[in-house]
């Protein structure tokens, strides 16, 4: 097991990455000894890991609730199921929630913890690659709104992240690839060496090489923790860089209907669109653009927006992006591999060509 820390003063917390962590009672115990504990998971993860975690936590005052799986359920009604469960069982402010599952379970549970009785503690126990490398770290919690993805939420940090990489072995190929999108994003936005390392090791990763998986989760968490520590609440522009590909990607997710494309798939296509715009602006070479495309394709990810979405539909959804200021769209755009900037200094025509899918 390896440990790293998200340094946020009084809100600092550890990330544990390694094998067989779901069985390590001593990792969980410090957060379960006071008051009640409630595991929140979904109907895909529960049959795989709920029983194991319950056995690990035997003896604590333990409750569990199971939500319907999928991004299409990341809305108020599912959040309210958590609240109703907690209230019906008279669970008080001294309750700790444990999010056992992927990004949707983590976002819902974290936001529930942020709001229930105005805030109770929670743990992130991510079981998908996407959740382990990205969504479980940094305290971004949210639900979707019919008018926009992750529009209702809170910055609310967990007490700890416990990432058992063994759980990745039960992940289907499509979800594994979706997680790789965020991994490739880290290379693209912040670390050219890591990007190169991924180009070298993508085959072995797809074959679930244990050692490489641990490395990739650890390095991804390290990059994310660093950015979050420097800009917890997206106040100085640094954290926004993690949104590379996400403005285009969110438009895809909302436009097609939540759950049609996985989040990681939308981010992959979104990164290609952001990169195409960068090429048009002269901030990325065509060769770099092709390198990104090749890596995403090898990872099993889409590199083009779905044909069903018109440029008008893209613009409508993107105009509601959280990075809009004074009505002006701001985008995270690559400047070479391993570097990105948040900017509104792109040509409208170049964006229009990109949304229309014109060849470079």
Which residues are the active-site residues? 118, 140, 182, 224, 234, 239, 243, 246, 250, 263
Binding residue for a second copy, selected from 30, 68, 119, 336, defined by CB under 8 A = 119
Query: How many CB atoms sit inside 10 A of residue 229's CB?
Result: 17
- Residue closer to a second copy (CB basis): 83 or 197: 83
Write down the least CB distance from residue 256 to a second copy, Å: 18
Rounded to whole angstroms, how far apart are CA atoms 255 and 251?
6
Rounded to whole angstroms, how far apart are CA atoms 48 and 39?
14
Helices 192-206 + 286-298 axis angle, to 10: 30
Query: How many CB atoms sit inside 10 A of residue 239's CB?
Result: 21
- Residue closer to a second copy (CB basis): 129 or 142: 142
Write down the least CB distance from residue 189 to a second copy, Å: 20
Residue tagged 């490739």 (tokens): 184
Write down the least CB distance from residue 165 to a second copy, Å: 29
Two tokens, residue 10: 């009084």
Tell whether residue 151 is a contact of a second copy (CB under 8 A): yes
- Residue closer to a second copy (CB basis): 303 or 324: 324
Binding residue for a second copy, selected from 8, 48, 62, 152, defined by CB under 8 A = 152
Q: Rg of the chain's alpha carbons, rounded to an integer?
A: 20
Q: Which residues contact residue 257 at a Cβ distance below 8 angstroms, ignoring those fewer than 6 apart? A: 72
Residue tagged 């949707």 (tokens): 104
Write down the least CB distance from residue 67 to a second copy, Å: 17
Rounded to whole angstroms, how far apart are CA atoms 330 and 186?
19
Write down the least CB distance from residue 327 to a second copy, Å: 7
Rounded to whole angstroms, how far apart are CA atoms 107 and 135?
8
Among 48-56, 128-136, 149-157, 282-290, which window interacts with a second copy (CB under 8 A)?
A: 149-157
- Residue closer to a second copy (CB basis): 59 or 359: 59
Rounded to whole angstroms, how far apart are CA atoms 191 and 222?
11
Tell whether residue 142 is a contact of a second copy (CB under 8 A): yes
Binding residue for a second copy, selected from 19, 54, 117, 343, defined by CB under 8 A = 117
**What sign does the CA torsion over 333, 334, 338, 340 have?**
negative
Rounded to whole angstroms, how far apart are CA atoms 304 and 271?
10
Tell whether residue 349 is a contact of a second copy (CB under 8 A): no
Rounded to whole angstroms, how far apart are CA atoms 208 and 320?
38
Rounded to whole angstroms, how far apart are CA atoms 88 and 73?
21
Among 52-60, 146-154, 266-274, 351-359, which window interacts with a second copy (CB under 8 A)?
A: 146-154
Residues of this chain, 30-89, that bind a second copy according to CB under 8 A: 35, 76, 80, 83-84, 87-88
Among 125-133, 147-155, 179-187, 289-297, which window interacts with a second copy (CB under 8 A)?
A: 147-155
Q: Which residues contact residue 236 at a Cβ distance below 8 angstroms, ignoring those fewer than 6 apart? A: 230
Write down the least CB distance from residue 275 to a second copy, Å: 25
Three-state SS for 160?
strand
Interface pattern 321-340 for a second copy (x via CB under 8 A): -xxxxxx-------------
Write down the least CB distance from residue 264 to a second copy, Å: 21
Binding residue for a second copy, selected from 2, 155, 209, 298, defined by CB under 8 A = 155
Tell whether residue 238 is a contact of a second copy (CB under 8 A): no
The strand pair at 2-6 and 36-42 is best described as unpaired
In this structure, the chain runs to a length of: 360
- Residue closer to a second copy (CB basis): 140 or 185: 140
Tell whether residue 140 is a contact of a second copy (CB under 8 A): yes
Residues that bind a second copy (CB under 8 A): 35, 76, 80, 83-84, 87-88, 90, 92-94, 114-119, 140, 142, 145, 147-148, 151-155, 233-234, 319-320, 322-327
């Amino acid at each position: 097991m390896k440990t790293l820390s998200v340094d946020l003063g009084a809100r600092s917390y550890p990330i544990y990455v390694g094998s067989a962590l779901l069985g390590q009672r001593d990792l969980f115990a410090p957060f379960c000894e006071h008051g009640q504990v409630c595991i929140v998971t979904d109907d895909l993860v529960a049959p795989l890991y709920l029983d194991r975690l319950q056995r690990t936590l035997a003896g604590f005052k333990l409750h569990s609730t199971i939500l319907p799986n999928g991004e299409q359920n990341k809305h108020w009604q599912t959040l309210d199921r958590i609240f109703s469960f907690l209230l019906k069982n008279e669970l008080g402010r001294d309750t700790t929630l444990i999010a056992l599952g992927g990004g949707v379970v983590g976002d819902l549970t974290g936001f529930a913890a942020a709001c229930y009785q105005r805030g109770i503690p929670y743990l992130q126990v991510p079981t998908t690659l996407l959740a382990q490398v990205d969504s479980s770290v940094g305290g971004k919690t949210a639900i979707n709104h019919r008018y926009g993805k992750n529009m209702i939420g809170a910055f609310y940090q967990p007490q700890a992240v416990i990432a058992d990489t063994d759980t990745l072995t039960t992940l289907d190929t499509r979800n594994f690839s979706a997680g790789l999108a965020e991994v490739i994003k880290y290379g693209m936005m912040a670390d050219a060496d890591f990007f190169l390392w991924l180009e070298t090791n993508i085959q072995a990763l797809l074959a679930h090489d244990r050692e490489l998986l641990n490395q990739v989760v650890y390095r991804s968490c390290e990059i994310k923790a660093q950015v979050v520590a420097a800009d917890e609440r997206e106040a100085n522009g640094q954290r926004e860089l993690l949104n590379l590909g996400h403005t285009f990607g969110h438009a895809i997710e909302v436009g097609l209907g939540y759950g049609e494309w996985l989040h990681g798939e939308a981010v992959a296509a979104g990164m290609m669109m952001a990169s195409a715009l960068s090429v048009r602006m002269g901030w990325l070479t065509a060769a770099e653009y092709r390198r990104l495309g090749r890596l995403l394709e090898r990872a099993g990810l889409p590199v083009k927006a779905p044909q069903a979405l018109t440029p008008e539909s893209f613009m409508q959804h993107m105009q509601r992006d959280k990075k809009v200021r004074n009505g002006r769209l701001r985008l995270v755009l690559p400047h070479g591999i391993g570097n990105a900037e948040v900017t509104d200094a792109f040509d409208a025509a170049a964006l229009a060509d990109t949304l229309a899918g014109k060849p470079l």
